[in-house]
Amino acid sequence: MQPLAWLDSLQGSGIRPGLGRMRALLKALGGPQRAYPSIIVAGTNGKGSTSATLASILDHSGYRTGFYTSPHLVEIRERWSIGGAMIVPPLLDECIEAIHAAGDRIGITPTYFEALTLIAFAAFARAACDVAVLEVGMGGRLDATNVVRPLAALITPIGFDHMEYLGRTIRKIAAEKAGVIHRGTIVLTSNDDPVILEVIERRAAKFGNRFVHVIEEHDTPLAGAFQRRNAGLAVRAARELMPLLPGISEDAIERGVARTRWRGRLEHLRVRGKDIWIDGGHNAHAAAAIAPYLDAHVPRPRLLVFGVMSDKDFGAVVARLFPLFDRVITTEPYPPRSMRADAFEGATPIPDPEEALRAALAAPERSVVVTGSLYLAGAAIAFFDKIAAP
């Protein structure tokens, strides 16, 4: 079986919390996660942009940086970057084959996300990375990334998401996220909720770790006022890491922030005379964060193309976003997990995402926003990039 075909065959494996399989497979692979120091980033929203900013700073500080993120929007290789560039196909194939063989030797088949994370550890070791930035997939305590003893743990804003796995209260969810904190880790968070802060600070204090509550903001090329806080968290982390990574300088920080690119997060495109914004926001916290930007920067009349996964708290998202628009088209970005397009009162259902995006291009509204799911953001990027290509 071809390497990518084997990886794809794991997609039905679902979520199986626990780190036993990861530890056994990493041992069989020779412990690649120990070849370089790591920084881990957990949270509900802003993980990706914070991680991307910090990885860019480290790249511009002269470090060969491995950056692992999820999910990908268009191309699976987006999940792993080395020195600011996507993993090359031969290295990806080599790592998949090594993981497949290691699993066969010890009789363990990883889940899809475990395999993706193992690829990151193996690839960054083989590429001789100096440091890795790891974005947590879900939660923290039992996430596949949580097999390292990180130099720093960054915790971005926490909200209600994946409650069937992480708990029904903000305290329980925060405790799961704080599970990425280990002895010797610098702990930084941009959360302001006293309950969340108390949970994170208590976990840091358990190990005698330095705890930093980050309230500062930093200018960033990424759209949305909330991104300044994410950039502020990455910048403060870089400054805290200077004694451990002395290549970091204020100049490198400024260049790294200025050159951060993160697609599908209030990304603005001009296509056929229309202004189009694409955002992967998929929960109430994200909707509340982008709403002020939409109100301030998106001219009326506005058209929303919306699709959401059925396991999300879509009622709160709909209540926050739909009133901001003159018309709404609903679609199904990832059936059968998507909410049905015809389930939303007052919207025009077009189940096929590409057809929904074509309808938006043909619509009279000049301002189009595509949001509700990272799957939909990925479909929109692929669609509009294809149109824009020469």
For residue range 225-250, what is the model confidence (pLDDT) as tens digits? 889 999 999 999 999 999 999 999 99
Assigned fold of 3-258: UDP-N-acetylmuramoyl-L-alanine:D-glutamate ligase (3.40.1190)
**pLDDT band of 1, cuts 50, 70, 90:** confident
Residues 342-366 pLDDT 10s:
999 999 999 999 999 999 999 999 9
Rounded to an integer, what distance in angstroms lies between the CA atom of residue 191 and that of residue 171?
A: 13
Across all residues in the chain, what is the average pLDDT? 95
Report the relative pairing of strands 65-68 and 38-42 from DSSP bridges: unpaired
Q: What is the pTM of this model?
A: 0.92
Q: Is the pLDDT of residue 166 over 90?
A: no
Distances (CA, A) of 346 to 41, 103, 215, 279, 330: 39, 50, 40, 22, 10
pLDDT bracket for residue 169 (50, 70, 90): very high
Provide the pLDDT for residue 389. Answer: 66
CA–CA separation, 329 vs 305, rounded Å?
5
Q: What is the pLDDT at residue 390? A: 54
- Assigned fold of 267-388: Protein-Tyrosine Phosphatase; Chain A (3.90.190)
* Contact (Cβ atoms closer than 8 angstroms) between residue 296 and residue 277: no
- State mean pLDDT over 303-325: 91
How many whole angstroms separate alpha carbon 198 and alpha carbon 178?
11
Q: What is the pLDDT of residue 313?
A: 78
Report whether pLDDT(17) > 90. no
Compute the distance between CA of residue 326 and CA of residue 250 in angstroms, rounded to an integer: 45
Tens-place pLDDT, residues 88-117: 999 999 999 999 999 999 999 999 999 999
Domain boundaries, the chain: 3-258, 267-388
